[in-house]
Structure 1
Amino acid sequence: MSRSLPVGLTALAWAAMQAVQAQDAPTSLTVTPPPGQRLGAWLTQHHPEAAATVYEPGLMWQSTAARRAQRQAREALLRDISAWAADDALRKAQTGPLLALLRELPLTGRRPLASTDPWRMQTASGLEPLTAEGDVLVLPQRPERLRVVTAKGLACDVQAQPERIAADVLRACGVSTDWVWLVQADGSTQRLGVADWNAQRQQAPAPGAWLWVPPDTPDWPEHFNTRIAQVLAEQGVAEGTPAPRPLSETISPPPRDLPLSTNDWGMTGLLQTPSARMPEAGRVALTVSRTWPYTQTSATLSPFDGLELAVRYTHISNKLYGPSIAGDQGYKDKSSEIKLRLLDEGRWQPALALGLRDPGGTGLFAGEYLVASKRWGSLDLSLGLGWGYLGARGNLANPLAVLGDRFQQRAQADVGRGGTAHLKGLFTGRTALFGGVQWHTPWDGLSLKAELDGNDYQHEPLNNNVDGARSPVNLGLVWQRGPWALSLGLERGRQWMLGLSLHTNVAQMSRSKSAEPAPWPVSRPALLPAPSAARSTAGPSADTLQALALQTGWPVARAWQDGATWVVELDNSQGNSLDERLDRGVAVLHERAPDEVQQFQFILMQQGVAVSSRSVARQAWAAPRWSWTGHAPVLDSTPESVQRPAPDSAEAHRPARQGNGGFSLGYQQHVGGPDGYLYALSARAQGQLPLWEGAWAQGTLQARLLDNYERYRYTAPSALPRVRTLVREYLTQARVTLPYAQLSQLNRWGEDVFSLAYVGALEPMFAGAGAEVLWRPQGGRWALGLDVNRVAQREFDQRWDVRDYRVTTGHVSAYWDTGWQGLEAKVSVGQYLAGDRGATMEVSRRFANGARIGAWVTKTNVSSAAFGEGSFDKAVYVSIPFDAFLSAWSTQTLSVAWQPLIRDGGARLNKLHTLWNLTGSRDPRAWRQAE
């Protein structure tokens, strides 16, 4: 380990190093461009040799304004560190050298560059700075060193070598740590795990990089590291004398991420057993595994870091549902699982997680577990304690028995309807240890697994004990390539396991819109306010509006000029990329508008009804796009009142509203019923025709192309009016159906209140009429709604006839955006399709790209016995906007829901449109800068 020097000597040594570095003239060239010059163009024209030989990552653009901001940030950092150490003598001693070092570092005034290549800068004005008075360019040559800075205030320079990782550099300096901040020569920063337990795939330090090693103090604030790394990023490349230390000849292998894979039950783990590992938020996985006599089909969701949920169907091939239900179909059970991380892994501390399997289902496979995981390089070890099914071997007493006798015996699982929480049985009965090891082999993507199973398979549900479970040790391997993982194992000493998993992260989905017209370049500078003069009132021209519609993908309803503002109404302005589409529209208007226009206002509409309004200041928008200002430009728009009457002259710019339609493929599936997996591939024709302001007609014609509905024989029993359990009849009666056909009328009352009335075939099973009212303040986090509907049940062929059943249904709904990690909630209270009354609670995590992971439960005044299997209605779902994976704009959303059972209780009307969706542009989270 490096020895620390007294604070005074450290400061003197650092100052001497800086002085020597400043005298090392051949390593850098400093030039001062005149103001008002394009940086890249000026550099290549006036210093072509230097531009050709400069070490591009280290090219520094320095400004006086940035120097002032850095001084303020530096002083604030010094104050905060001093305050943190003020009342502790040991902290003072630890931070003294660091404070001295930070004080000595020069204030460079470095500003980040979109590109450090002088030639690439010139390809787009938004990449190239426009120089100002006092700007300086520093052009370094390729350095030969890396610099390590520790909390003890010491700088150790190490020889730079290609592809040598951070751990090699730290070893050369005699520094041992778990985490390091890598600051590359271009100013980018990254936190790296460099110990055996947290190694990760990472970039190698480039020549001239800095490495900041935080103090080994548990209570050291993490935000200090971010700010110190930023200070080092402002220094540019690490240069100086004397000669840097050489790296060891021993080359460390490139670090790799810890591979995560699902177990047989769809949860992150080994084979039969779970581990304490967790996927990152947004991950969704589908896993199918087969180990006789069980076939598990699991969907796993991770709405938050540290939380993993799974829902699954288990097919038991050697047990039957019963001839009266499904003939010779194997038995099928529905279950769920939740795992919560209690502790993060540390240098000595393992990750710790708590899990509940099937806490509210039939209880066939119910169990609980506490599991810890610890990593050493390529090995990941897990050890856990299981109750219930996971501890069925029962070779250990329950450690919780010290809390009371009730923990000693576990009640026999009450296999029944499901949907009832088994709280009394949690963590009761005898237990068993489980655990194992995963080895990440040198062949990337291939991992080997070995585990001790806590189940002896002699207490299986339905008295289905597995004969010949020869060994408690299971062996397996998993081969992962991209989103796919293939698993193979030998379990119980004799049974082969085969598994397949497909996963993705819905929060990280994005796709450039290459199928759309290329965005307009910004070829006009930011404008200063025009001198007072007679202003035009003509507004945008017809070809400008045509280009605007092409760029945004939304039709233009009207446009006019109001003083120094161009106002544009955009109809049917829905979708997920509202800010990106509007930003493209501003580019068109900025190019075409006269200098006197200083603001653009966009009124976003639905079917000719104004829903929301966003205003963009022209000069503030153009400045960062005309030249690089040190930050990536985002659309900075502000909400405004939609009450802006248009002059009569604007009618000339009102194109006729046009209908639209198209063809698409549809896919339906039913999983987990007695009839097995059922599917249907259909062709759909959709059409929409505008009528008058706020009114439109819409319909869908559907034809089944390919399906296996001939196997759909089971109709669930019901003690309620059959509003949903006749699903088999609706799906099999006719091949060509009309699932939707309705007239709708949208209105806005005042600034924040909307109404929607509708009549027709509102969904495949019900037709009728209804209305909805919604109060939704623009930019607010709360909204209240009410809907009332009088509907009749449609005939099975989904044409025009209706059945005898009629009902009034409706709800009062409250919406709440919590503002915490995208968590949103909705509560609806009212009457459902079967005449039952109750409430539905829905919660979801919404990610920045519009994707959602959510769940809902409904409880009504219907008893569990009358409701039937499942006891109450519930589901989990994943929703992904098509914008996230298509190369063209889309207003459609892909939604996949797992609803364990379809029952008549708690059934809601599935309408084509809701006011919440139609008014989506009023949501502050629809505009990224508001998040």
Structure 2
Amino acid sequence: MMFLRANKGSSLRQMSALALAISAVFATPDVVAEEHASQSDFGGVGLMQMPNARFADYGTLSGLYYDNEEYRRLAVSLQLFPWLETTIRYNDIRPITYSANPEFSGDQTGKDKGFDVKLRLLKESYWLPQVAVGWRDLAGTGIFAGEYVVASKRFGPVDLSLGMGWGYLGRRDNISNPFCDVADKFCQREGGFSGSGGRFETDKWFRGDASLFGGIQYQTPFDPLVLKAEYDGNDYSRERYLGQLDVDSGWNFGADYQVNDTWTLKVSYERGNTLMFGFSGEIDLNNMGQVKTANRRVPTPNTRTAFERQEQIDDPQSSRKLRSEAWRLAGLSVTELQNVRSEQAEEAEEADTLRIYSNQLYYRDYQQGIRQVARIADQILPEHYDYVEVVQQNDQIQLATTKINLDVARKAIHNTDFDTELEDAFSREDTPLSEREQQGLYQAEYRRGWPRLSVRPFLDQSFGNPENFYMYQFGLDLNASMWLAPGTFAHGTVSGNLLTNFDDFNFLVDGFNSPLPRVRTYVREYTTFSDIWLDNLQLSHINQLAPNVYTSVYAGYLERMFGGVGTELLYRELDSNWAVGVDLNWVKQRDYESHTGFLDYDTFTGHVTGYYQPQFLPNTLIKAAFGKFLAQDNGLQLNVEHKFKSGVIVGAYAAKTNVSARDYGEGSFTKGFYISFPVDLLQTEHSPNRGVISWTPLTRDGGQMLSRSVQLFHATDLRSPFYKE
């Protein structure tokens, strides 16, 4: 039972009137209007200060800037699943300074970061509202921490919301906490935060004062304009650092003006005395793409430009023609061709299958290359061939074989059967390793040539620093790789600054007296030593020991901060949703005052890692690595990645080891977020490569893994494609 408190008179009457109005409307359903997923003042879909139960479209990445006299907020929200919204936010607390020491942080204002989560519990139906539960400022310092349950129902152009909040969202205290009837511990909520912050303080959730809140969002007849009104669950009487803010009204009013499909201007008048303004923007990570202008179309069959069918494929000229078109149109670097007899043709005079060993170097969608091979084979191969087997490789290791049934493929290519798709001709299987030893029609000579060079830009960013809120390092990576023997290659990266403000650092190593070896917190020393540096330089060898078993060994400068030697073993079955690997490394810390030297610290580090793609979470990869970290602490790192239709991958990780939160320092445990995006989303040519943008709230020494540039799970991705299509 929930009991209203008689001593809350005025606010209670206002809230009761709103509740009665919303209840009355809930009882009379009407036509549902198109949803306008408007960002709240804190980021994430909501009203203004208060949330609602609405969500953006799946895959929407939103950014928000909102400003007022006391607080300025920057937030990024992602609709990770249709039922899950996540938000990362920085709060600029304008009336206070970052620290009391001007030599440390100058006149920079106070900063706080937070993380929010909202889950949909019930999807809206004709009679029932949509219901959501959420946590604000989760695992932060608790300045804005709060929890809520909220329901929203739409009637034509009107969207009504009613909810209950705790913590920061419940300070108006206009209703008794219903969980007090469950247990007395829910009646009190401790202030502040425990330890060094950054912890999930579950012992505070849904405890202490509670408040009803609600609001209305109205889509005006003028499509770009949306109006809002809400009753605030916070009375702003206990703002940390600021005390009590002036409040003349519990009602807030606002308007959103959608400039175009991407940008929205926002303005509101809140607390009866404060004008706020800002803007938001959004992009669709799920459906984003780039039109390709490169002409790699296979000529139409039976036209003037069609390929000439070869009478045989085992002479050098015909073989060269096939390999040339496979490279030009399908992006395949062919290493070997074999004639094979299938079970149906064991007694035949001629082989009925052409096997192609190759590496895909152009398409991210490997099946696009297979489709091109099918069209090429339809026109070029002699008619006695019934099948083509494309053995996909990463250098000399076999990953998967796609078998093309040419009879089925021709039905789709020539439109003789409208129910047949080209993909119906494809099947995946493993080709025995022993088959590679057979004499082939063609085998590429393994030649050592000049190193392959590439240049790519990089941007390292850091937010919330004492010197400047935003610090950056923009430069170029010069990458070089050279194959020395089958499976063996040398590769390295030299990096250089073009534009940076990292030289504004007021201090280098931080002043925290950590009992852990400083394996990552010398980061400022590394970044300020030189404008040109050797990022990595190593020798690697990848091999396939047996079906489903892959190994690698490597040695050299493995990353910016460590060099050494290591090995990895991976077991991965074809088209399986799981794999398991183990890596073991001996590493020594690199000197931050020289390009090639080392410090005295060395250690063994390694992990047993499980990889799992659950069927109940499509397009999601879960990685769990248990072992010894760089600072000699033992524990588990959990990494979750989700891929959208566009190929963009969003990931988050957290590591918890046997280091206590006190010894770890601020943040309590290692965590971070990143976005991996296909390079071909940014260009008109196809590409199998990826770029990464990452964000780490705070770098400490516990729970830190070695950054290995060659990882077998990525190298064997085509066994069960995730990073490629």
**TM-score, length basis structure 2:** 0.87
Q: Is the 8 A contact 1:471 1:493 kept in 2?
A: yes
**Once the two structures are aligned, what percentage of the paired residues are identical?**
32
1:441 Cα deviation from its structure 2 partner? 2.2
Identify the match of residue 431 of structure 2 among 641, 657, 663: 641
Task: Provide the residue aligned with 2:243 in structure 1.
Answer: 465
Task: Provide the residue aligned with 1:364 in structure 2.
Answer: 143
> 2-side partners of 1:447 and 1:295: how far apart?
22
Q: Is the 8 A contact 1:373 1:383 kept in 2?
A: yes
Give the letter aligned to residue 773 of structure 1. L
Q: How does 1:559-638 map to 2 (within 5 A)?
A: 559-562=337-340, 563-571=351-359, 573=361, 576-627=364-415, 629-630=418-419, 633-634=422-423, 636-638=426-428
Task: Provide the residue aligned with 2:17 in structure 1.
Answer: none
Distance 1:911-1:474 versus aligned 2 partners, 3 A rule: same
1:500 Cα deviation from its structure 2 partner? 2.7
Unaligned runs of 5+ in 2: 1-28, 304-310, 341-350
Report the number of matched residues: 668
Q: Is the 8 A contact 1:510 1:849 kept in 2?
A: yes
Identify the match of residue 281 of structure 1 among 54, 58, 77: 58
Give the letter aligned to residue 579 of structure 2. A
Identify the match of residue 488 of structure 2 among 687, 695, 699: 695
Partner SS for 1:634? helix
Identify the match of residue 204 of structure 2 among 421, 425, 431: 425
Partner SS for 1:411? coil
Q: Is the 8 A contact 2:88 2:116 kept in 1?
A: yes
Identify the match of residue 800 of structure 1 among 586, 593, 596: 596
Distance 1:268-1:370 versus aligned 2 partners, 3 A rule: same
Structure with bigger helix share is 1
Partner SS for 1:259? coil
Map Cα deviations across residues 420-439 of structure 1 (whole Å, 9 max, x no partner).
22222211222222222222
1:697 Cα deviation from its structure 2 partner? 1.5
Map Cα deviations across residues 871-912 of structure 1 (whole Å, 9 max, x no partner).
111223332222445322222223233322111000011121
> 2-side partners of 1:495 and 1:898: how far apart?
33
Partner SS for 1:333? strand
1:865 Cα deviation from its structure 2 partner? 0.6
Distance 1:709-1:927 versus aligned 2 partners, 3 A rule: closer
1:267 Cα deviation from its structure 2 partner? 1.1
Q: Is the 8 A contact 1:697 1:741 kept in 2?
A: yes
Identify the match of residue 172 of structure 2 among 381, 385, 393: 393
Task: Provide the residue aligned with 2:674 in structure 1.
Answer: 877
> 2-side partners of 1:386 and 1:724: how far apart?
39
> 1-side partners of 2:568 and 2:329: how far apart?
33
Identify the match of residue 918 of structure 1 among 707, 712, 715: 715
Task: Provide the residue aligned with 2:155 in structure 1.
Answer: 376
Q: How does 1:350-749 map to 2 (within 5 A)?
A: 350-414=129-193, 416-462=195-241, 464-480=242-258, 481-515=260-294, 517-523=296-302, 537-538=314-315, 541-562=319-340, 563-571=351-359, 573=361, 576-627=364-415, 629-630=418-419, 633-634=422-423, 636-643=426-433, 644-645=435-436, 647-651=438-442, 653-654=444-445, 656=447, 659-675=451-467, 676-714=469-507, 715-716=509-510, 717=512, 718-749=514-545
Give the letter aligned to residue 314 of structure 1. N
Q: More deviation in 911-920 or 488-497? A: 488-497
Task: Provide the residue aligned with 2:12 in structure 1.
Answer: none
> 2-side partners of 1:513 and 1:507: how far apart?
18
1:495 Cα deviation from its structure 2 partner? 2.5
> 2-side partners of 1:197 and 1:307: how far apart?
26
Task: Provide the residue aligned with 1:320 in structure 2.
Answer: 97
1:276 Cα deviation from its structure 2 partner? 0.2
1:561 Cα deviation from its structure 2 partner? 2.3
1:330 Cα deviation from its structure 2 partner? 2.1
- Confirm whether residue 755 of structure 1 aligns to residue 551 of structure 2: yes
Q: More deviation in 630-639 or 310-319? A: 630-639
1:316 Cα deviation from its structure 2 partner? 1.2
1:833 Cα deviation from its structure 2 partner? 0.8
Identify the match of residue 867 of structure 1 among 664, 681, 696: 664
**C-alpha RMSD of the superposition:** 2.5
> 2-side partners of 1:832 and 1:401: how far apart?
43
> 2-side partners of 1:652 and 1:368: how far apart?
65
Q: Is the 8 A contact 2:609 2:624 kept in 1?
A: yes
Q: More deviation in 848-857 or 908-917? A: 848-857
Identify the match of residue 637 of structure 2 among 817, 825, 840: 840
Q: More deviation in 652-661 or 765-774? A: 652-661
Map Cα deviations across residues 828-849 of structure 1 (whole Å, 9 max, x no partner).
1111111111111122223344
1:647 Cα deviation from its structure 2 partner? 4.3
Q: Which has the larger radius of gyration?
A: 1
Task: Provide the residue aligned with 1:93 in structure 2.
Answer: none
Q: Is the 8 A contact 1:765 1:798 kept in 2?
A: no
Distance 1:506-1:797 versus aligned 2 partners, 3 A rule: farther
Task: Provide the residue aligned with 1:47 in structure 2.
Answer: none
Give the letter aligned to residue 44 of structure 2. M
Map Cα deviations across residues 804-850 of structure 1 (whole Å, 9 max, x no partner).
22121111111112122223211111111111111111222233443
Structure with bigger strand share is 2
Partner SS for 1:489? strand
Map Cα deviations across residues 238-257 of structure 1 (whole Å, 9 max, x no partner).
xxxxxxxxxxxxxxxxxxx2
Q: How does 1:2-41 map to 2 (within 5 A)?
A: none
1:673 Cα deviation from its structure 2 partner? 3.0
Q: Is the 8 A contact 1:363 1:415 kept in 2?
A: no
Q: Is the 8 A contact 2:32 2:157 kept in 1?
A: no
Q: Is the 8 A contact 1:373 1:380 kept in 2?
A: yes
Map Cα deviations across residues 187-234 of structure 1 (whole Å, 9 max, x no partner).
xxxxxxxx95434xxxxxxxxxxxxxxxxxxxxxxxxxxxxxxxxxxx
Distance 1:407-1:499 versus aligned 2 partners, 3 A rule: same
Distance 1:657-1:555 versus aligned 2 partners, 3 A rule: farther
Identify the match of residue 260 of structure 1 among 37, 61, 67: 37
Give the letter aligned to residue 583 of structure 2. D
Q: Is the 8 A contact 2:396 2:543 kept in 1?
A: no
> 1-side partners of 2:354 and 2:481: how far apart?
30
Give the letter aligned to residue 578 of structure 2. W
Q: Is the 8 A contact 1:610 1:642 kept in 2?
A: no
Map Cα deviations across residues 143-170 of structure 1 (whole Å, 9 max, x no partner).
xxxxxxxxxxxxxxxxxxxxxxxxxxxx
Q: How does 1:283-298 map to 2 (within 5 A)?
A: 283-298=60-75
> 1-side partners of 2:638 and 2:687: how far apart?
29
1:651 Cα deviation from its structure 2 partner? 4.4
Partner SS for 2:630? coil
Q: Is the 8 A contact 2:334 2:357 kept in 1?
A: yes
Partner SS for 1:645? helix
Map Cα deviations across residues 109-156 of structure 1 (whole Å, 9 max, x no partner).
xxxxxxxxxxxxxxxxxxxxxxxxxxxxxxxxxxxxxxxxxxxxxxxx
Distance 1:695-1:398 versus aligned 2 partners, 3 A rule: same
Partner SS for 2:526? helix
Map Cα deviations across residues 769-816 of structure 1 (whole Å, 9 max, x no partner).
211111111111221101111111122257212222212111111111
Distance 1:661-1:624 versus aligned 2 partners, 3 A rule: same
Q: Is the 8 A contact 2:335 2:443 kept in 1?
A: no
Q: Is the 8 A contact 1:661 1:685 kept in 2?
A: yes
Q: Is the 8 A contact 1:320 1:328 kept in 2?
A: yes
